[in-house]
Structure 1
Amino acid sequence: MIVRSTELQNNFGKYLRVAAKEDVIVTRNGVEIARLVSKEGHSEEELQESTVQESAASYHFRGRTATFEEFLELTSDGETRYEYMDGKIYLLSSPRVSHQYVITQLLPIFHQWAGDSGCIPFTAPYDIRPKRPYDDNPNVVQPDLMIICDLNDNLNDQDYYTGVPLLVVEILSESTQGRDLVKKLDLYMECGVKEYWIVDPLEKKLIIYHFKDQKIHQTAMCKPPESARSFLFEGLSVELNQLFMP
């Protein structure tokens, strides 16, 4: 179980009882700071080894396995951004200037294209919960930019979108490029996204994947001074000379 330090302090007795049955991971601002482990059933050597291993744990939740309920508990304060994919939690770091520059260039282009089409661009932080067709377990991701065309049909009573965007954009950074290029590519392809844009500010390039029948149907890779054109949406194009920082 994962619990925030403030919650532990307010309900210490409760979590001591929980720790008798399972490990309790304590976090502060998304960082793992301690673990409550029952001594019952563990030798002193095992407890010492567990302590050493935990002290060397990664600062970020890179691939930390957890239940969906634990993920919801961890993110209930809304102060830190996380994603949850295939049963693992990932902490999202603060984006850099080159990352935000791309968003500020893309968003007005998407808005101008959308017009009165019924499609609406959205930017992070904004959760979507795609599901793989063979797995009922939810995923929670925050694409950098997306185009949603079925908002009115998939808005619940809590004002949250429950559908799948048709187009998703992720902007690579050092901490997320592994997930964006592999895990999210696979997730978006299987969950019903039709087009996936990957923007690389460092290499100054844009890769577009067009999905059909949960497979990669077409791809394109563009660099300045070329223009990138959507396979899915007629008239949606971006001049790459305008997309990246000078």
Structure 2
Amino acid sequence: MPKAEEPDFDYQNHSYADYLKWDLDEMVELIKGRIFKMSPGPNRLHQKVSGHLFNAFFNYLKNKPCETYAAPFDVRLPRHSKKNEAIYTVVQPDICVICDPLKLDDAGCVGAPDLIVEILSPGNNRKELVNKYEVYEESGVKEYWVIHPIEQTVLIYSLINGKFHPSRLFTAGDVVKSAVIEGYQLDLDAFFKNIA
């Protein structure tokens, strides 16, 4: 993977404690202490994919120990300490699944979710595929799905011995299975048929 890009403005080395004080007109994420502007409001296709996939996870996980959340939902990824002033990465994945209730608090999630889904939109591909890839791998996210809604593809990165390993590119006709959520399957033909 190439190295993460620099943000397009000059705020660096900020913590979650700083993030909580800001009164900004736009949403941002912190990645390794650097501020990244979030893309403008997601387009209709992005939102439709997100809503349908959230519902699929939510319905599957009813009465199971894991819970699913959709953006906006702060996921804090601490390195050495869970204190607000020591957390330098706060992201808002499109969808995340958390199986350890101790990671949940009133502010969101502190620690790596078990599964994260990011849906590509014009303008966010590098952030999702490089910057977030790095912090998700480093923080121990077990499974990272990247969905391209226009091309109707899914790529899954699975964490093995601390490193992400990519699946093949799943396309129409494939049934995607999660290694993290036992028994969960997503039929891409049926899923994307409802998204058009």
Q: State whether TM-score is above 0.5.
A: yes
> Contact between 2:16 and 2:90, CA under 8 Å: does it hold in 1?
no
- What is the TM-score when the length of structure 1 is the normalising length? 0.67
Deviations 1:20-69 (A, max 9, x none): xxxxxxxxxxxxxxxxxxxxxxxxxxxxxxxxxxxxxxxxx635332315
> Contact between 1:150 and 1:163, CA under 8 Å: does it hold in 2?
no
Matched, 1:107 2:66: no
Q: Which residue of 2 aligns with 1:154?
A: 103
Deviation of 1:107 after TM superposition, in Å, equals 1.1
Q: Which residue of 2 aligns with 1:25?
A: none
> Which one of the candidate residues 72, 80, 88 is aligned to 1:125?
72
Q: Distance in 1 between matches of 2:165 and 2:187?
A: 23
Deviation of 1:230 after TM superposition, in Å, equals 0.9
Q: Distance in 2 between matches of 1:232 and 1:70?
A: 28
**Which structure would you say has the larger Rg?**
1
- What is the TM-score when the length of structure 2 is the normalising length? 0.82
Q: Which residue of 1 aligns with 2:164?
A: 216
Q: Which residue of 1 aligns with 2:31?
A: 85
> Aligned-residue CA RMSD in angstroms?
2.5
Deviation of 1:186 after TM superposition, in Å, equals 1.5
Q: Which residue of 1 aligns with 2:22?
A: 76
Identical-pair percentage: 31
> Relative CO higher for 1 or 2, CA cutoff 8 Å, sep ≥ 6?
2
Cα 1:63/1:207, change in 2 over 3 Å: farther
Deviations 1:95-120 (A, max 9, x none): 00110010111011101221211100
Extract unaligned runs of 5+ from structure 2: 1-6, 81-85
Q: Which residue of 1 aligns with 2:91?
A: 141
Q: Which residue of 2 aligns with 1:200?
A: 148
> Contact between 1:211 and 1:218, CA under 8 Å: does it hold in 2?
no
Matched, 1:62 2:8: yes
Q: Which residue of 2 aligns with 1:235?
A: 183
Extract unaligned runs of 5+ from structure 1: 1-60
